[in-house]
Amino acid sequence: MSKQTPELNLVDLNAGQPCCAPISEQRIPAETAALLAPAFKALGDPVRLQLMSMIASAPDGEICVCDLTPAFDLTGPTISHHLKTLREAGLVDAERRGTWVYYRPRPALIAQLASLLAVQAPVG
């Protein structure tokens, strides 16, 4: 799991910088839309949105799958599948330590989504 899924480079257009103006300020080009839509899509399932929230708000900056799974009425494989979706969207990162696997948020992409949705800047 330290070796992440290889197709993660979908979303490293951003090196952490603001990237793109809010959608209320200018149209986003097709390529940007194609790049960012998968991240929104990944958040577009209630289970994954909750998972993302649990991961992002984990007190230690990370959380064990063993703490995520029992929070849902779903099987382990299903949770694992959702976590993979979040991983492939570039929203989270996973690391195995011993028997357990820990998930961490990837703040860069999250910030990018947030700034895209940001409401009108004070002046513009």
Partner DNA sequence: ACACTGTCTCGACGTTTGTCGAATCAGAGA
Partner DNA sequence: TCTCTGATTCGACAAACGTCGAGACAGTGT
Is the CB of residue 3 less than 8 Å from the CB of residue 84? no
The site string for DNA over 33-72 (x = CB under 7 A, - otherwise) reads --------x--xx-xx---------------xxx--x---
User: CA 49, CA 82: separation in Å to the nearest integer?
Assistant: 10
- DSSP label of 29: P
Instruction: Measure the CA–CA gap between 100 and 123, rounded to whole angstroms.
Output: 49
Residue 59 or 98 having the CB closest to a copy of itself: 59
Least CB distance to a copy of itself at residue 36 (A): 7
Q: Nearer Cβ to DNA, position 53 or 84?
A: 84
Question: Interface with DNA by CB under 7 A: which range of 10-18, 49-57, 83-91, 106-114?
Answer: 83-91
